[in-house]
Amino acid sequence: MTRSLVTGGCGFVGRRLVDALLDRGDEVIVFDLAGEPWRDGMRLVHGDLCDAEAVAAACEGVDVVFHSASLVHTKQNRGELVRAVNIDGSRNVLAACRRHGIGKLIYVSSASVVYHGEDIRNGDETMPYPERFPALYAETKAIAERELLAASGDGPLTCAIRPHVVFGPGDTRLVPALLERAKAGKMKFQVGSDDKLSDFTYVGNVIQALLLAEECLTPGSAAAGQAYFITNGEPMPFWHFVRQVVEPLGYAAPKMRIPFAVAYAAAAVREGVDTFLRGGTLHAEGGLSRFAIRYLCTDHYFSHAKATRDLGYVPETNLEQGIAETVASLR
């Protein structure tokens, strides 16, 4: 029996991954700050990624680590904490894998590691990391990814999965933020035009890719030390996605547009006030950070051809079905 550890296993992607690992017969250890066990066969260990000894203790006796935990924070504040969790925490995971002779480490990265604030159309894995990042979150994810991939074979074999705009039943971030604004009547304006395309990735397809990566990650395999974009491969305008989620639930989608410059300035003011008054609140962007505004006004979609070639990845759930399942779970 494979013993798998999932960092951040109580989160949106992590929880779905834990269920999939249990379904395939793994013994699963979840390492997370909080949460409660929800299934037999799993063991929950409460701990902080920034605590190297706690990470090492949780990894003892493990065969494979799925490193899903990170701090998603796209505002330009709280930099010390974001670096500590996303960079130092990843270093602690790698060190624990080396200490215990763990053979495989799969990193849940992000497509934003190559985002430089300009249009990306059908981007692939030959794209370099930007010299300057529009958000510290993307920068810290890129630093962690680069270090983990460079370490492949010097300890565990590693690879990175780069999903883009993950959604689905159980989403704790994207869809809840949209619905919160719609319910409060704050979704009157859209930022950006409908000619800018974004990729979306159904959460089940992310899990599919992670499991395929673990299976393919063997000595001498093409996957070792590699990163893979994972999407549905069906880019659409962001606001078309929003309409397909909120309108079936009885909420109004935006009818008017606001210029990029106005929205960006408002986001800058909001971030400044948040930093001044509270030092930077976590998990409270509400879709209004400078990074988010820039994202809404650029193309960012990617090819998953490399993942198809090396991992055998072909999305199991198409975008229409994924949206329908998400909406049904929220009725």
pLDDT single digits (tens) 44-67: 999 999 999 999 999 999 999 999
**What is the percent of the chain where pLDDT is above 70?**
92
Supply the pLDDT for residue 111: 97
Pair 115, 54: CB distance under 8 Å = no
Q: Is residue 192 part of a domain?
A: no
Lookup: tokens for 81: 């904490």
pLDDT at 173: 85
Rounded distance, CA 306 to CA 313, Å? 9
Please, are residues 136 and 79 in contact by the beta-carbon 8 Å criterion? yes
In a domain, 268, yes or no: no
Q: Which residues are catalytic?
A: 137
Whole-number average pLDDT of the chain: 92
Proportion of the chain in helix, strand, coil states, percent, rounded to 5: 45, 20, 40
Predicted local confidence at residue 281, as pLDDT: 64
pLDDT computed for residue 283 by the predictor: 60
CA distance 185 to 182: 5
Q: Residue 130 domain-assigned?
A: yes
* Window from 137-146, 239-248, 258-267 with minimum mean pLDDT: 258-267
Q: How far, in Å, CA of 175 to CA of 133, rounded?
A: 25
Give the closest residue to 4 by CA, choosing from 42, 50, 48, 37: 42
The amino acid present at 46, given as its one-letter code, is H
Answer whether residue 91 shows pLDDT above 60: yes
| pLDDT score, position 184 | 87
Overall number of domains in the chain: 1
Q: For residue 85, is it left (φ>0), alpha (ψ between -120 and 50) or beta?
A: alpha
Rounded CA gap, 21 and 64, in Å? 11
User: Domain of 118?
Assistant: 3-168+200-233+301-316
For residue 279, being part of any structural domain is answered with no
Q: Tell me the HSE value of 49 on the side-chain side, using a 13 A CA sphere.
A: 24
Domain membership flag for residue 137 = yes
- Judge whether 239 lies within some domain: no
> What's this model's pTM, rounded to 2 decimal places?
0.94
29 in a structural domain: yes
The pLDDT, as a whole number, for residue 284 is 53
**Tens of pLDDT along 262-314?**
777 877 777 766 665 666 666 655 556 777 788 788 999 999 999 999 999 99
Which residue would you say has higher pLDDT here, 91 or 256? Answer: 91
In a domain, 270, yes or no: no
Q: What is the CATH number of the domain that holds 48?
A: 3.40.50.720
pLDDT for position 287: 54
Q: In what order do the strands lie in the sheet with 226-230?
A: 42-46, 27-32, 3-7, 64-67, 104-108, 157-163, 226-230
